[in-house]
Structure 1
């Protein structure tokens, strides 16, 4: 019973945050970075896919309405299908909005890593030994993926099955994830649309010099 209530609470919170993101985006009220901070987007890898899904879902609404109108005599069924179709389109737009208005943020204290409103944690600069730009492809579609290597545990924050920025840490660091604290990771990888700009700014905050590398 407790697990069911916990799951219901997470669903309600997720739905509320989705609609809040949609309204903020429509009202052009993004989550503005604080003074001295700079935002970096990461929606580029999935933007075409999301737009295609939204467009196809919108086209499906009138098509299904015509089919139901000619195959089912119940007005209630048509209204329910119409309502679900509209809700689905708005939900997809809300997901798009969440990715748009919650960017990564580099500020004097560290790098705030985000993915919509579900992933949100900060890596302090003093914990970072090196930062590099490198494109990597992953097989899974999950946003949070853990990879165990000989060098240690790698935490991937994935967008469109990709990462483009590597944060190599001085020592294992545990961060807050939607499911709770992560296992200590020695490296955190994330995706940014402009990894070169993010890496350049990040290196200015590192306590030790970091050799220049280019995205591969």
Structure 2
């Protein structure tokens, strides 16, 4: 398996963004949402799962600490690793909350936490519809379809008049002409996009 150039650097940058989201989360700020922009959240369906996973990780940390307490070095190393895992799990939720989808006067910015930030110019949008789809339903998506499910579901489909370039977390580039993603207020976002692209 070949690695994309700069994969480790990209992963480190991603973790930095995730950890940096805590400060914005605590301060109730959002990443790059201007005064004329409209933000639309999408983190609702995954919140219970993330917090449940964080709780399980905490329980696992306590259990492992008890089992290896007679080996101080092992105990310290595993405690730090487990604690960092809990921080990263909670960081995925903080990144999703602080990096919402954004509708600007010129573009629709579709995001998935710190992992995806796709800017779609409004003049590239051919149509948008709110439709609930579950991940995996109907088989694997075509190569020109970008799916960004939350809680294994998407609620909006944006069809493009021309392709836009999506860059993956590890730097792989591909052209997409359909974007499926979730928004907590899918109907409101769909109506706002339609109004923005209307002649």
TM-score by length of 2: 0.88
Q: 1:111 to 1:51 in 2, by over 3 A?
A: same
CA shift digits 1:30-55 (9 cap, x unpaired): 22521221101111121111010011
Question: Counterpart of 1:96 in 2: which secondary structure?
Answer: helix
* Displacement of 1:146: 7.4
Question: Counterpart of 1:148 in 2: which secondary structure?
Answer: coil
- Could you say what the CA RMSD is over the residues aligned between the two structures, in angstroms? 2.3
5 Å matches for 1:112-123? 112-123=109-120
Inter-partner Cα distance in structure 2 for 1:184 and 1:68: 49
Question: Counterpart of 1:182 in 2: which secondary structure?
Answer: strand
Aligned to 1:129: 126
Inter-partner Cα distance in structure 2 for 1:3 and 1:182: 16
Aligned to 1:110: 107
CA shift digits 1:149-195 (9 cap, x unpaired): 9xxx322222222111111222x31223223432242x221111110
Mind listing any 5+ residue stretches in structure 2 that lack a counterpart?
Answer: none
Deviates more, 1:101-110 or 1:25-34: 25-34
Inter-partner Cα distance in structure 2 for 1:194 and 1:22: 24
* Displacement of 1:3: 4.8
Larger radius of gyration: 1
Inter-partner Cα distance in structure 2 for 1:113 and 1:11: 20
Aligned to 1:197: 188
Q: Check whether the contact 2:166–2:175 (CA below 8 A) recurs between aligned residues.
A: no
* Displacement of 1:56: 1.2
Aligned to 2:163: 173
Q: Check whether the contact 2:4–2:172 (CA below 8 A) recurs between aligned residues.
A: no
Inter-partner Cα distance in structure 2 for 1:126 and 1:11: 32
2:146 is the counterpart of 1:148: no
Question: Counterpart of 2:114 in 1: which secondary structure?
Answer: coil
CA shift digits 1:15-39 (9 cap, x unpaired): 2222111232233332252122110
Question: Counterpart of 1:147 in 2: which secondary structure?
Answer: coil
Moved over 3 A (4+): 2-5
Mind listing any 5+ residue stretches in structure 1 that lack a counterpart?
Answer: 209-216
TM-score by length of 1: 0.81
